[in-house]
Structure 1
């Protein structure tokens, strides 16, 4: 028997449609814990509801994520608590879940969930997602699996999952990995365990980290502007293996000389960023300048990780060790 705490943050799962559009419902979070089927879940001793916030997920900030992480850790210290379900908006769910995955101390299961359809919409998916998430938390196999994301009866690892569809209930996917498991009626089935999860415990984070996407014809001015605006770390989403236009390469060199770490990701969902191409702007050229190759290609995930890592260190070479775990160590000549 176990107690499950549902921590609500808002999002479509706690919204209704009014004349002007879909907006937060002032009683939406309360309804989450009143799903009748919750009372029939085997092994569930008690449900508690904690309202952290009731905001659209684009309003979620790094500071909010940091406070949420501390709250969840505090809740999990209670011996009676089996695990936590976090309800959230879908737009930034993958960022918050990954933030929690990296920073939480406990191995107790934490499952983040959401809804693509508001509580007043035909076929709303929120109640089913909450129900499946609570079932997942109570599964004995969920312990030590890291923070998970459960929607549409699929269970995904926070590091691997991303939103792929603007409106479909089957929006969350883990490209290149696939789900950890599924919830089938009242049974939770895990098919694999993520081998890529990690924990980075820190006492603070660096909020001033920018995510910039390069493009054909990019002259590097946006990258340099971010540095001039006071961003202390930059994630640059390049093409393919992390390659960028030549003028952007020049900008990368300038920014690194300012002592600002530049982490290179890719606009591709699958594969890894790797220093293969040595032409100007190629991944090998950027790394020679001192850029860091993020082996996880998704930019928004790299940004979350860089914020957390920079809470521990601002040394570029030390930061590199967190991102380049499978790249052969070479002497890097800073241009």
Structure 2
């Protein structure tokens, strides 16, 4: 209880430092409010700078493709008996800040650096030697292929180090499943990779980020977590990146694998698995170590009276592939089917048909020259197709890629 109380005090101190006094805020005029916000940002910057000096941070190294956050790396305590875990921070709600501790919407995602996240959970040092790396600090909707390529290279480099036992990636939950799936297909290691986020910002009452981060780091350092691929951790749940998806916009218990189930759960911070280590059918590896960009792949959502011109417009705008979130088992409108066949035949557009439902399978449609996404949802089908196009897969290879595990 003492350690948890300490964490609570740390969070309250952090909140008080970052937020203006309520009474002062109400008394300010519109002109004064602008000035106050400027002072607030200056105070926050001084606080961050003081934190850097206090713990002896090195100057951040520049990351290719985007500016490095001023809190780039951090490594302090060391205990030879504990596993060495690297935390790669990308922003999101887990690093979010709001104007009120009761505010859980409309906050600024990616407001806090990786060192602040680590300092808010001193219990991390009881389970691991932590090194923090700030890869980006954005909301997850702003994650780009360039950020993903840089992230996967950094994670691979860390795991190739024999002294590193695992990697944790902090990430916004809106697109966690996409980045986690990307890492699952592009990182080659038996060591654990764990993607973690939060549904409440760091400044909220009962923020879930600290406990999620502690569980993720504990999992990454657990020998039983090896050989399971990339995992997603939130709300005491352990899910496979291959199957786990976000199912609720607000609930803490949002990440689920509806048909496949969880890999395990946490009890007193300890991970408990339901099964021995095993990888999903259909999981493949793509080497993107030399990639600087990825082919454009767009998703079209199926619905009644869908305008097929949207598919044509996407291809004309540069899309090399399309993923269709079809109705039911991949159904599409009759005019839309004619357009898809034309795009596949005349533009060599590679088209994968998935489903807008939460489960089930979608098969190939030879009449349209489209590939079934099988049990991958549209967003994960997009990642798979994007990587396959980068790797130069032929039509025959694409067909095998999406269904070889089921026949």
Aligned to 1:268: 357
- 1:291 paired to 2:370: yes
Distance, in Å, in 1 between the alignment partners of 2:266 and 2:240 is: 14
Paired residues of 1:104 and 1:199 also in contact (CA < 8 A): no
Aligned to 1:216: 304
Greater fraction strand: 1
- 1:6 paired to 2:68: no
Select the residue among 326, 331, 340 that pairs with 1:243: 331
After superposition, give the CA deviation of every residue in 1:240-291 in whole Å (9 maximum; x if it has no partner).
Answer: 111211111101101101101010101111111125xxxxxxxxxx432211
Residues 1:232 and 1:314: Cα distance change in structure 2 (over 3 Å): farther
Structure 2 portions without partners, runs of 5+: 1-81
Distance, in Å, in 2 between the alignment partners of 1:151 and 1:223 is: 36
Cα RMSD (Å) of the superposition?
Answer: 1.7
Count of aligned pairs? 315
Aligned to 2:31: none
Aligned to 2:52: none
- 1:103 paired to 2:194: no
Paired residues of 1:62 and 1:207 also in contact (CA < 8 A): no
Distance, in Å, in 2 between the alignment partners of 1:18 and 1:247 is: 49
Deviation, 1:163, is 0.6
Distance, in Å, in 2 between the alignment partners of 1:175 and 1:327 is: 19
Structure 1 portions without partners, runs of 5+: 276-285, 329-335
- 1:166 paired to 2:275: no
| 152-161 or 191-200, which deviates more | 191-200
Aligned to 1:226: 314
Match of 1:271, SS state, is coil
- 1:197-208 equivalence runs, <5 A: 198-203=283-288, 204=291, 206-208=294-296
Match of 2:98, SS state, is strand
Distance, in Å, in 2 between the alignment partners of 1:114 and 1:197 is: 26
| 18-27 or 4-13, which deviates more | 18-27
Distance, in Å, in 1 between the alignment partners of 2:231 and 2:339 is: 37
Distance, in Å, in 2 between the alignment partners of 1:156 and 1:132 is: 13
Distance, in Å, in 2 between the alignment partners of 1:226 and 1:110 is: 34
Q: Which has the higher contact order (CA 8 A, sep 6+)?
A: 1
After superposition, give the CA deviation of every residue in 1:20-46 in whole Å (9 maximum; x if it has no partner).
Answer: 9411465442222221211222xx2x1
Q: TM-score by structure 2 length?
A: 0.74
Greater fraction helix: 2
- 1:122 paired to 2:205: yes
Aligned to 1:37: 123
After superposition, give the CA deviation of every residue in 1:291-330 in whole Å (9 maximum; x if it has no partner).
Answer: 11111241000001111111111522222111122566xx
Residues 1:319 and 1:119: Cα distance change in structure 2 (over 3 Å): same
Residues 1:197 and 1:179: Cα distance change in structure 2 (over 3 Å): farther
Distance, in Å, in 2 between the alignment partners of 1:56 and 1:207 is: 22
Paired residues of 1:202 and 1:308 also in contact (CA < 8 A): no
Aligned to 1:332: none
| 245-254 or 205-214, which deviates more | 205-214
Residues 1:130 and 1:141: Cα distance change in structure 2 (over 3 Å): same
Residues 1:311 and 1:152: Cα distance change in structure 2 (over 3 Å): same
Residues 1:326 and 1:194: Cα distance change in structure 2 (over 3 Å): closer
Distance, in Å, in 2 between the alignment partners of 1:326 and 1:191 is: 22
